[in-house]
């Protein structure tokens, strides 16, 4: 997904483009894994990129309502 936004108290030329990409995989009935990439590219300022990885499982048969997981995020600023 690609979106563009700006703060209403700033000029329209000071916008930020945000790109996201997600991959999701279900393992069995009660486990799930996803990876996500998000990049913010402002017209003024420093670009920021974030990568997330998350895995988890349901605690009970009602796992869609109760999901416990562990994840890792990596934030990189100013690469490009």
- Inform me whether the pLDDT recorded for 80 exceeds 70: no
Beta bridge partners of 57: 31, 68
At 27 the pLDDT is 79
At 66 the pLDDT is 61
Contact present, 76 and 62 (Cβ < 8 Å) = no
> Which of helix, strand or coil describes residue 5?
strand
Contact present, 52 and 39 (Cβ < 8 Å) = no
pLDDT tens digits along 39-59: 888 877 778 888 888 888 777
User: What is the Cα–Cα distance from 70 to 21, expressed in whole angstroms?
Assistant: 20
pTM of the entire predicted model: 0.61
Q: Per-residue confidence at 79, pLDDT binned at 50, 70, 90?
A: low
């Amino acid at each position: 997904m690609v979106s563009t936004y700006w703060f209403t108290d700033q000029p329209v030329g000071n916008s930020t483009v945000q790109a996201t990409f997600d991959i999701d995989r279900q393992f069995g009935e009660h486990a799930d894994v996803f990876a996500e990439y998000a990049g913010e590219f402002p017209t003024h300022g420093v670009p920021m990129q974030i990568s997330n990885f998350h895995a988890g499982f349901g605690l009970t048969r009602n796992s869609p309502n109760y999901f416990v997981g562990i994840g890792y995020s990596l934030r990189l600023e100013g690469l490009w």
